[in-house]
Amino acid sequence: MAVVSSAAVAAPPVRLQKQFAIANNISYEKWQRIRLLMGGPRSGLASASVMRTDGQAAFAEERNLIRSTAQGALLAIGRSAVEALVADLLARNQFIERPVVGRPAGEVLLSFGLDKVGRHRSCKEILSCINQAQPCSSDNTILLGVFPCEKDD
């Protein structure tokens, strides 16, 4: 029977751990407690300080830069986010060519739209790359900006 060190196999990259923590709204303090509960450094989970440093590096990247205006918060350079998404899809071999009648081949199909999900009165501008499976799933779209609304509908 082959024996594989479980910590080495299970340890995901720090960036992935960071994304998981953000997606699930886990604070650094809670993260540290989970890490200790799972065995500390042997768990394969990054420490809170490493996560914090990686988070700062991630937010400083051009594709993630945010600027705020009187109307709301939005991505500073939308083009970088689109290019990063397409590069990621190509790298993972998940870019799906979607030919459109009457258009040249090889185009990147982007849809610009509005989303109103969430608990607070706000609308979200989103950009979806249609050249992937489930393009309009919220995990696969680029959140361009969040703007407060006066009413829900």
Partner 1 sequence: MVELYAPDLEDLRANGVTVAGVARPVHLILMGDHSFTTSFDGHAGATCHFLCCYCCCLARLTAATKKLLPNFADYGTLQDGSRAGRVPCTIFHMSVMATLYANGPLATLLDPPSVSIALSYERRPLVVFAPKDIVPMPLHITSGVSPWMLSLGVEAVAFDLGAARAEKYAAALTTALRLNVGVSRTPYWRGTFAGRACDKIGRRLAAVCDVFDGFVPPARTAAHRRACELWAKLQPALNRAATFEAPERATFRRQATEFVDLLRSSFEWESITRKLHILACHAADWLDRYGSLGQFA
Query: Is the Cβ of residue 48 or residue 127 nearer to partner 1 in the bound state?
Result: 127
Cβ 33 to partner 1, closest distance in Å? Answer: 34
Residues 6+ apart with CB under 8 A from 121: 148, 149, 150, 151, 152
- Please give the Cα distance from 92 to 150 (Å, whole number): 41
Toward partner 1, which CB reaches closer, 39 or 113? 113
58 binds partner 1 (CB under 8 A): no
**Does residue number 151 form part of the binding site for partner 1 (CB under 8 A)?**
no
Give the nearest distance from C-beta 152 to partner 1 in angstroms: 6
Cα(68)–Cα(72) distance, integer angstroms: 6
Q: Is 4 in the site for partner 1 (CB under 8 A)?
A: no
Q: Which residue of 7, 48, 86, 143 would you call a contact of partner 1, by CB under 8 A?
A: 86
83 makes contact with partner 1 (CB under 8 A): yes
By CB under 8 A, is residue 128 in contact with partner 1? Answer: yes
Cα–Cα distance measured from residue 61 to residue 77, given in angstroms and rounded to the nearest whole number = 10
Q: What is the largest CA-CA distance in the chain?
A: 63
- The sheet carrying 73-75 orders its strands as 66-68, 73-75, 141-148, 122-129
Please check whether residue 109 is in contact with residue 130, taking contact to mean a CB–CB distance below 8 angstroms.
yes
Token pair, residue 101, equals 């009648």
Residues in contact with partner 1 by the rule CB under 8 A: 69, 71-72, 74, 78-79, 82-83, 86-87, 90, 98-104, 106-114, 123, 125, 128, 130, 133-136, 144-145, 147, 152-153
